[in-house]
Amino acid sequence: MTSLISRCLTLTATLTRADWLLPTLARLLFAAVLLMYFWVSGLTKLGDGLAGIFTPSTGAYVQIFPRMMEAVGYDIEQFGVLARLVVLAGTWAEFILPALIVAGLLTRLAAFGMIGFIVVQSLTDLYGHNGWDDPKVLGAWFDRFSDAAILDQRALWVFLLIVLVIKGAGPLSIDRALTPRA
């Protein structure tokens, strides 16, 4: 029994010293689970042609400002410069922040930005798209279901990003390559 406990303690001590493991796995899981989710969502917001990165689609406004779009009859010309800047920033964030995380460049800042993005996305889903009306969208913690979009899935997304905010990108990253050695 003492031998088993000793082996267990040795293994856990080794894992405790493996500072590279947690941030590396967090970035790998982000790439595997969320990278394409955000990039495909960003693609739905681009306008036509190459200039589409500067002229968001009508769908972008519908996704980001659903109630306002309905109020103006889905006419994006009714929106001002501030709304256009918000839509552009949201669209670009869906491409830039995930790319920075996967590359491991400015990882802590990008992960923090993604947390803010997910909070805004969740609030838009709840208030703008009437997610409050569907209990499966909001969900509830400590229940037997794990498939609600907001409290279940996005809580795990945010936890994954918090790991990157705290631990950084890990050794296989541009951040590490740019960090001067002591």
pLDDT digits (tens, 9 = 90+) for 67-106: 999 999 999 999 999 999 999 999 999 999 999 999 999 9
pLDDT over 90 percentage in the chain? 64
Per-domain residue ranges of the chain: 20-177
If DSSP states are collapsed to H, E and C, what string results for the chain?
CHHHHHHHHHHHHHHHHCCCHHHHHHHHHHHHHHHHHHHHHHHCCCCCCHHHHCCCCHHHHHHHCHHHHHHCCCCHHHCCHHHHHHHHHHHHHHHHHHHHHHHCCCHHHHHHHHHHHHHHHHHHHHHHCCHHHCHHHHCCCCCCCCCCHHHHHHHHHHHHHHHHHHHCCCCCCHHHHHCCCC
